[in-house]
Structure 1
Amino acid sequence: MGRTNEPPRLPGGGFAAWSRDRLAVARRGADECGDVWQLEPGVYVAATAGACEAVLRRAQDFPKAPSPLFPPLKGSNEAPTAEERAHAHAARMRGLRAQAVAARVGEIAPGAALFAARWPTDRDVEVLPAARHALAEIGVRYLFSEDAPALLPFAARLFLAREVLVRPSRWEWPRWVPTPARRFRTRQQAAFTDALRPVVRRRRASGRLGDDVLGQMLQPSSRYGALPEEAVLDTLPGITVATFEAPTRAAGWILLHLARHPEAADRVAAEAASLPADPAATTSTHLDDLRYTRALVHEVLRLHPPSWLLTRRTAQRTQLAGYTVEAGSTVLVCPYTAHRDAREHPEPDRFRPERWLDGPDAPANPGAFLSFGTGPHGCEGAALAMATLTLLTAHTARCHRLSEPPGPEPGYRVTTFEGLATDGLRLRATPRAPGQPRPR
């Protein structure tokens, strides 16, 4: 392959500037350098929709780095093989695909309604802890059904271990160094696995495997038979945390936009009036009827993708957007700037949920929506996240009008280290219709 020029360097855009304001440098790199730009030697940023999609879809050229949330526990004599992990993934996806989620909407909606019902009114409340708790209850119940209450405390400690591990630090320790944060993660992972193991054994012994995600993983396949116990347990800590980690970041942005755009919130509330009084009676038809609410969620995720930066490593020398990228290079895929590509989204900085509805404003290329990734490593839980966030948005707007605390300064900090989040966000809820029965 003949060598062409390298991607351009952004003047004054090295790691020092990046560490001070990553979003601003990312925007400047996309504006001044185009599709791909060089942050430092061997580190490139895919900035526009076409370049980002190319990296994510070409998994052979740009494989995903093996960095699971929770690596396999050491000391097991029966570590799953690559084939068993692939089978476990396929079994897990049977419970997470769009059809499976649609069939269980009535199990998701009560948690979304309860989040709105629990919100204290007429005082400023920190949003993210309450949203995280509600989303964890929904996610853990979706995975483990009636066993969820016993597992929820362990899931909460898994999240805490994850948070401690990813906090910014002055030192980047090698993966093999047993830092206190890594030891804490291992202890919480082992505790979760120890709590889940008797659930797996009880279900198998009774023959009542369940129709939740765990049940799908316990179903024998005609090709592989039953998965070994360790293969079932191996990735469940990671998927458990994933059901509420990024959705919590997304929920913060969504609730902030409901506060900042009261006309849009009114439209969501009007749409949500069609939801049944008993949230458990919610069906996929009710969810499908929340067209504007879903469009609002899409638009917020376009503007503020919770996973705004994805990392890939080039497996071999290759071409990207007309540039040569050497083997072993790091490529940072930036949905945040890709979603602001005016060729894909007219008026890209403007909040316009209508662009996701049918009509002339609909995106020309739906693949330009990268908040859940795309290609072989797209988010497993995309359908579950969209259903949960749509129902959470609808029930909140149905019950409350949201507002920000008064004052010139925003009531939150934008954080970008592990994901794009509204750290410390505080909002006030005022009952939308006094005297209206609230969901139980």
Structure 2
Amino acid sequence: MGAVHEPPRLPGGGFAAWSRDRLAVARRGADECGDVWQLESGVYVAATARVCEAVLRRAQDFRKLSSPLFPPLKRAGGAQMPEEWVHARAARMRGLRPQAVAARIGEIAPGTARFAEQWPPDRDVEILPVVRPVLAEIGVRYLFSEDAPALLPFAWQLFVAREVLVRPTHWVWPRWVPTPARRFRTRRQVAFTNALRSIVRRRRSSGRLGDDVLGQMLRPSSRYGPLSEEVILDTLPGITVATFETPTRAAAWILLHLARYTQAADRVAAEAALLPADPATTTSTHLDNLQYTQALVREVLRLHPPSWLLTRRAPRRTQLADYTIDAGSTVLVCPYTAHRDAREHPEPDRFRPERWLDDPDSSSRPGVFLGFGTGPHGCEGAALAMAMLTLMTAQTARRYHLSELPGAEPGYRLTTFEGLATAGLHLRATLRG
């Protein structure tokens, strides 16, 4: 099995330093220790591009923790079998794969245009609360089409429950303890599930299943037959929130970069000028023509991946980058430092969208871009998120010059506990002449 030795420890690292400044410790660990380093006994950080890619692709050696934010509701019928969850994911992916998203660009584009049109010019606007409901409406509509208006209020309450549940606390209760936050989560999940159940039954009884993601889940598989009602209901709350929660963090970073890099924003605006006047007529060809805009979005996600740290567990002893990882160890995969691996990204700290145009095949190389993860547990909604973010970026730059508020930088609070976010970010929009 090769040499048996542990990854190096970071001098002055450990949980105390980590809790004070996660990003700084992550950068120092990558710089001083290389591919893999030890945070505490049994806790390792995969820091560089190819090693991060290897962990995420070796799903049998490094397993994703099975702790969904919205676990299956307890029912008299018992828990679903693991195979059903696999089939449910495959059914969802029929509606979320790039070809499916491309076919529905005309449904996504109007929401991004409304966001730009409704931004109040010449006023200081806090970004996250403005972006989140817009992306929620787009995401929920993509999943549920004409039933989206009925489900949107319940989806929003799921997000509220998520925020309550992931709020940092000084004490982590065992999963079986019914804390007030978990009871609140369960009530909101039950409400969403009940609303969705009536829609599922109506669609099935009428035979009009729909062409949205829910419709794909209702279609029987030629190999496995129809999904059970309960597995559909249990697997959709998490993906519903995911369609807008993570993209919201990404959108805030993108808008901040439009404000800071005016030449890049002007170039996006020039591309966006070729979009159709009626957003509903936007096609995948229009999206494909936004090449610089897509490069800018990808570059922002490289520098500021919203999911900057991913957790995996080693079920058995294995090797990683010539080191021994013992069974039961935790491996933290860090796209934040992987994206700053100078072997893959020259001048890794520099914001340069052109790098993705100069080498258009670079994103397919192992570890080069992990903004949506990779491997068996990569983000299901990656294509949808890229479409939403690209169109929102184009529509906003087409209409406005953005600027930060005057004063000391940064004008926001960087948070890293549940993803990389710009809490309290305010921007001002001025109409382009």
SS at match of 1:312: strand
Partner of 1:269: 269
| 1:372 shift after superposition | 0.5
Deviation for aligned residue 1:362: 5.2
Equivalent residue for 1:208?
208
Q: Answer whether contact 2:259 2:402 (CA < 8 A) is retained.
A: yes
Q: Does 1:44 align with 2:79?
A: no
Alignment partner of 1:243: what SS?
A: helix
Asked if the contact 1:345–1:363 (Cα under 8 Å) also holds between the matched residues in 2, the reply is: no
Q: Does the 8 A contact of 2:107 with 2:280 survive in 1?
A: yes
Following the alignment from structure 1 to structure 2, what is the Cα–Cα distance between the partners of residues 362 and 300? 16
Counterpart AA for 1:432: R
Matches within 5 A, 1:286-365: 286-359=286-359, 365=365
Deviation string for 1:352-399 (max 9, x for gaps)? 000011459956826410011111111100000000100000000011
Corresponding residue number in structure 2 for 1:425: 425
Partner of 1:255: 255
Residue 200 of structure 1 deviates from its aligned partner by 0.4
TM-score for both structures, normalised by structure 1:
0.97
Q: TM-score, normalised to structure 2's length?
A: 0.98
Q: Indicate the larger mover: 159-168 or 68-77.
A: 68-77
* 8 Å CA contact retained: 2:249, 2:422: yes
Q: Is it true that 1:395 corresponds to 2:389 in the alignment?
A: no
**1:223-260 Cα deviation digits (max 9, x unpaired):** 22221110111110000000001100000100000000
Equivalent in the alignment of 1:196:
196
C-alpha contact (below 8 Å) 1:53/1:374 kept by paired residues: yes
The secondary structure found in structure 2 opposite 1:244 is helix
Q: Which residue of 1 aligns with 2:416?
A: 416
Query: Are the aligned partners of 1:70 and 1:238 in contact in 2 as well (CA < 8 Å)?
Result: yes
Contact 2:4 2:324 in 1 (8 A): yes
Tell whether the 8 Å contact from 2:111 to 2:138 is kept in structure 1 after alignment.
yes
Shift of 1:130: 1.1
Alpha-carbon separation, structure 1, partners of 2:44 and 2:203: 48
Inter-partner Cα distance in structure 2 for 1:156 and 1:244: 10
Q: Corresponding residue for 2:63?
A: 63
CA distance in 2, matches of 1:363, 1:102: 19
Offset at residue 106 of structure 1 (A): 0.2
Write out per-residue CA displacement over residues 45-67 of structure 1, whole angstroms, 9 at most, x where no aligned residue.
Answer: 00000110110011111011101
Closer/same/farther in 2, CA of residues 345 and 293 from structure 1, 3 Å limit: same
Query: Runs of at least 4 residues of structure 1 off by over 2 A?
Result: 358-367
Contact map agreement 1:80 1:234 (CA 8 A) in 2: no
Instruction: Report the equivalent of 2:375.
Output: 375
1:30-55 CA distances to partner (integer Å, 9 max, x unpaired)?
Answer: 00000000000000000000110110
Please give the alpha-carbon distance, in whole angstroms, between the structure 2 residues aligned to 1:150 and 1:130: 21
Equivalent residues of 1:128, 1:249 under 8 A apart:
yes
Match of 1:324, SS state, is strand
- Distance apart, 1:94 and its partner CA: 0.1
Matches within 5 A, 1:180-191: 180-191=180-191
Q: Which residue of 2 aligns with 1:32?
A: 32
- Tell me, in whole angstroms, the C-alpha distance in 2 between the residues paired with 1:360 and 1:295: 9
Deviations 1:87-121 (A, max 9, x none): 11111100000000000000000000011111111
Rounded to whole Å, the distance in 1 between the matches of 2:228 and 2:325 is: 41
1:253-310 residue CA offsets vs partner (Å, 9 max, x unmatched): 0000000000000000000001000000000000000000000000000000000000
Q: What is the match of residue 136 of structure 1?
A: 136
- Please say if residues 112 and 134 of structure 2, whose CA atoms lie closer than 8 Å, have aligned partners that are also in contact: yes
Q: Quick check: 1:79–1:230 contact (8 Å CA) kept in 2?
A: no
> Structure 2 counterpart of 1:100, which letter?
A
For structure 1, the residue ranges without an aligned partner over 5 or more in a row are: 434-440
Q: Which secondary structure state, in structure 1, belongs to the residue aligned with residue 63 of structure 2?
A: coil
Residues 158-178 of structure 1 show CA distances to partners (whole Å, capped at 9, x for unaligned) of 001001111111001111111
- 1:79 Cα deviation after fit: 3.3
CA distance in 2, matches of 1:360, 1:394: 20
SS state at 1:235 partner? helix
Q: 1:163 to 1:76 in 2, by over 3 A?
A: farther
Quote how far apart the aligned CAs of 1:432 are: 1.1
RMSD over aligned CA atoms reads 1.3
SS of 1:328 mapped into structure 2? coil
CA contact (8 A) 1:344 1:363 kept: no
* Structure 2 residues without counterparts, runs of 5 or longer: none
Inter-partner Cα distance in structure 2 for 1:78 and 1:11: 49
Aligned to 1:121: 121
User: Which residue does the alignment assign to 1:436?
Assistant: none
Q: Following the alignment from structure 1 to structure 2, what is the Cα–Cα distance between the partners of residues 171 and 195?
A: 34
Q: 2:193 is aligned with what amino acid?
A: T
Q: How does 1:83-162 map to 2 (within 5 A)?
A: 83-162=83-162
State the Cα distance separating 1:75 from its structure 2 match: 2.6
Identity %: 80
**What amino acid is the match of 2:253?**
W
- 1:85 is displaced (CA, Å) by 1.4
Q: What is the number of residues matched between the two proteins?
A: 433
Rounded to whole Å, the distance in 2 between the matches of 1:227 and 1:171 is 39
Query: Match of 1:171?
Result: 171
Distance 1:84 1:25 in 2: 40
